[in-house]
Amino acid sequence: MAKKDVEALLIAGGEDKHLRAKYDVPATREEFIVLAATDGYDFTVEELDAVLHESGDVFEKNGNPAKRSIWWT
């Protein structure tokens, strides 16, 4: 179930630039997960990492301004 929450968040972020911007702010995975919980998504660092690994995505930010490239479209 929790992996489904990770996937749902990544899809939602792919569809909404404001949501992406909100989730580009947290510096750590732990902060990202706390923020996700406030929006009703329930998952752990391990579950987030597993989904990102399976999809070939990387959590770290890149670019200027720094953004994550984890969002699914």
List the chain domain ranges.
Answer: 2-55
d(CA 47, CA 3): 6
Cα 53 versus chain centre, distance: 12
pLDDT of the residue at 63: 95
* pTM for this prediction: 0.94
pLDDT of the residue at 1: 66
Count Cβ atoms below 10 Å from residue 69 Cβ, excluding itself.
12
Calculate what percentage of the chain has a pLDDT beyond 70: 99
d(CA 12, CA 17): 9
Residue 31 has pLDDT above 80, yes or no: yes
Mean pLDDT to the nearest integer, 43-57: 97
What distance, in Å, lies between the first and last C-alpha atoms of the chain?
Answer: 21
Task: Tell me which residue of 52, 54, 15, 16 sits closest to 32, measured CA to CA.
Answer: 52
